[in-house]
């Protein structure tokens, strides 16, 4: 199965969400979200989320211990996670994140703060699909469709259902969110009920 676009985004994953806990990718998603939170250690407003994920991960790790131990087990996060380079947000990017719906803003923040947009923009300007087919599979699939011709939401929903064997209930919200992500990134535009490929311009949030 292909992971949804919200995969591993800490501000979206929730232990209390019925959607998250019923998702086929919940275990790997939680691990990825925990890694992301560790890499942001020290930033405001994440302490509670980090503690919640750490407690959960420690509980999972201890449940897999084969036999009781007589000494305390100290679990440490991999050091390389904290060494990830972070990019400062521009005013335009910060405004876009503030204006966008929660799930959309979370994806945008991840792309921009990790500097993923830099290569995306270069590929877009060269006429290529901006998105990696493994890392951003749904965005890659959607953009591949609008490279051919403009598409409606229903057509793109059908694309995800066919290509990734998703249900309508999974595909429709993904299209609704990624539709907006593409527009905020400057790679697509809305033309009535259609999503169309944008022409490269200086309006890109890069």
C-alpha dihedral, 10 to 160 to 138 to 27, nearest 10°? 30
- In which domain, by residue range, is 34 found? 1-84
Let me know whether 53 and 143 are in one domain.
no
User: CA-to-CA distance for 122 and 109, rounded, in angstroms?
Assistant: 19
Residues belonging to the chain: 206
Question: What is the number of domains present in the chain?
Answer: 2
- What pLDDT is recorded for position 151? 98
Let me know whether 59 and 160 are in one domain.
no
Greatest C-alpha distance within the chain: 66
User: CA-to-CA distance for 51 and 12, rounded, in angstroms?
Assistant: 16
Let me know whether 94 and 192 are in one domain.
yes
Q: Which two tokens stand for residue 160?
A: 């995800």
- What pLDDT is recorded for position 67? 44
Residues of the chain predicted below pLDDT 70: 1-5, 10-11, 40-50, 53, 57-84, 201-206
Q: For the segment 40-59, what is each residue's pLDDT rounded down to a tens digit?
A: 665 555 666 667 767 776 66
User: CA angle, corner 1, sides to 32 and 195, nearest 5?
Assistant: 90
- What pLDDT is recorded for position 77? 41
Domain-ending residue, one of 62, 84, 106 = 84
Domain-ending residue, one of 84, 112, 129 = 84
């Amino acid at each position: 199965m292909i992971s949804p676009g919200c995969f591993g985004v800490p501000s979206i994953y929730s232990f209390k969400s019925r959607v998250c806990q019923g998702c086929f990718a919940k275990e790997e998603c939680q691990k990825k979200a925990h890694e992301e939170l560790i890499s942001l250690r020290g930033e405001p407003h994440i302490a509670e989320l980090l503690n919640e994920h750490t407690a959960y991960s420690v509980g999972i790790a201890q449940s897999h211990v084969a036999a009781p131990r007589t000494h305390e087990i100290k679990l440490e996060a991999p050091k390389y996670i904290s060494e990830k380079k972070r990019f400062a947000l521009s005013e335009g990017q910060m405004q876009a994140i503030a204006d966008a719906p929660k799930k959309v803003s979370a994806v945008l923040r991840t792309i921009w703060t990790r500097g993923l947009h830099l290569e995306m923009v270069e590929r877009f300007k060269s006429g290529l699909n901006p998105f990696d087919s493994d890392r951003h599979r749904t965005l890659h699939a959607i953009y591949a469709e609008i490279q051919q011709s403009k598409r409606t939401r229903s057509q793109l929903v059908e694309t995800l259902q066919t290509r990734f064997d998703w249900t309508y209930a999974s595909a429709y919200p993904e299209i609704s969110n990624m539709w907006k992500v593409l527009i905020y990134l400057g790679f697509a535009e809305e033309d009535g009920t259609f999503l169309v490929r944008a022409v490269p311009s200086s309006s890109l949030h890069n």
